[in-house]
């Protein structure tokens, strides 16, 4: 085998193993060491971990995949209720009965439901981008003396964790059935605890200050998701 080919194969194996090791360390830190990735990145220790944008893309890609097989936003055509199974959001909205009645009369209910599902999927990528930007703005209000870069990196890592958790939770919901409500409550508690610990690690605040800001952050995050749910249902009705 030519020496050049051997060298190229060795370089590829080295790069692949290095990337794998970096990815494993990054995912482990994201899931089990709240705030570690953000603190390492803003402190300049970036070699051992993947870039925050990469981490966010990995988690949202998994989230998209789960959504494709088990929609996270569903329309009940009998009651008109639009419900979300996402953690940190308990708000339901509804489609007017008159709209559903017209759809039934014109025999276009299936088409309306398909349009609604398409609308949710189409607006999801925009929501993912807006969510990070809005989270960074919220963090800048909660920690107004800290650098903007810190807020952006924290927003990426926090959002990545949320969607990673939702991916796992949605899979468990599909398997456990009757335990779904318990899983949902546990997911909301994990979100609050994780965010409080991450804020303490990144922003170096007291436990009380971190918990209070984390509670405010969860509320803001839920309002953003609720706004997306409401606007999606209204847009679907408008285009019906």
Query: What was the pLDDT predicted at 171?
Result: 77
Q: Please state the domain extents for the chain.
A: 51-238
Query: What was the pLDDT predicted at 210?
Result: 93
pLDDT in tens, 165-179: 888 877 776 665 555
Query: What was the pLDDT predicted at 196?
Result: 94
Q: What angle do CA 8, 11, 16 make, to 5 degrees?
A: 125
What distance in Å separates the CA atoms of residue 171 and residue 70, rounded to the nearest whole number? 9
Query: What was the pLDDT predicted at 14?
Result: 39
What distance in Å separates the CA atoms of residue 60 and residue 50, rounded to the nearest whole number? 15
User: Dihedral through CA 59, CA 155, CA 161, CA 49, nearest 10?
Assistant: 70
Tens digit of each residue's pLDDT, the chain (240 residues): 454 543 433 433 333 334 467 888 898 899 999 999 999 999 888 788 889 999 999 998 888 888 777 776 766 666 666 666 665 554 455 555 556 656 555 556 667 677 777 777 777 778 888 888 988 999 999 998 889 999 999 999 999 998 888 888 777 766 655 555 566 667 778 888 999 999 999 999 999 999 999 999 888 887 887 777 777 666 666 655
Query: What was the pLDDT predicted at 202?
Result: 94
């Amino acid at each position: 085998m030519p020496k050049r080919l051997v060298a190229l194969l060795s370089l590829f194996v080295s790069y692949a193993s290095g990337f794998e090791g970096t990815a494993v360390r990054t995912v482990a830190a994201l899931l089990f060491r709240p705030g570690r990735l953000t603190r390492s990145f803003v402190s300049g220790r970036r070699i051992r971990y993947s870039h925050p944008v990469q981490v966010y893309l990995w988690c949202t890609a998994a989230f998209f995949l789960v959504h494709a097989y088990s929609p996270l936003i569903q329309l009940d055509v009998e009651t008109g209720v639009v419900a979300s199974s996402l953690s940190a959001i308990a708000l339901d909205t509804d489609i007017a009965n008159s709209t559903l009645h017209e759809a039934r009369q014109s025999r276009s209910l299936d088409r309306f439901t398909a349009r609604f599902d398409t609308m949710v999927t189409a607006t999801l990528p925009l929501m993912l981008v807006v969510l990070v930007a809005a989270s960074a703005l919220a963090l800048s209000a909660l920690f107004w003396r800290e650098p903007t870069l810190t807020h952006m990196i924290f927003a990426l890592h926090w959002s990545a964790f949320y969607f990673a958790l939702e991916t796992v939770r949605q899979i468990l919901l599909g398997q456990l059935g009757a335990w779904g409500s318990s899983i949902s409550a546990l997911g909301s508690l994990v979100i609050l605890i994780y965010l409080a610990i991450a804020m303490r690690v990144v922003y170096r605040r007291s436990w009380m200050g971190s918990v209070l800001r984390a509670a405010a952050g969860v509320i803001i995050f839920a309002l953003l998701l609720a706004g997306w749910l409401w606007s999606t249902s209204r847009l679907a009705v408008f285009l019906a």
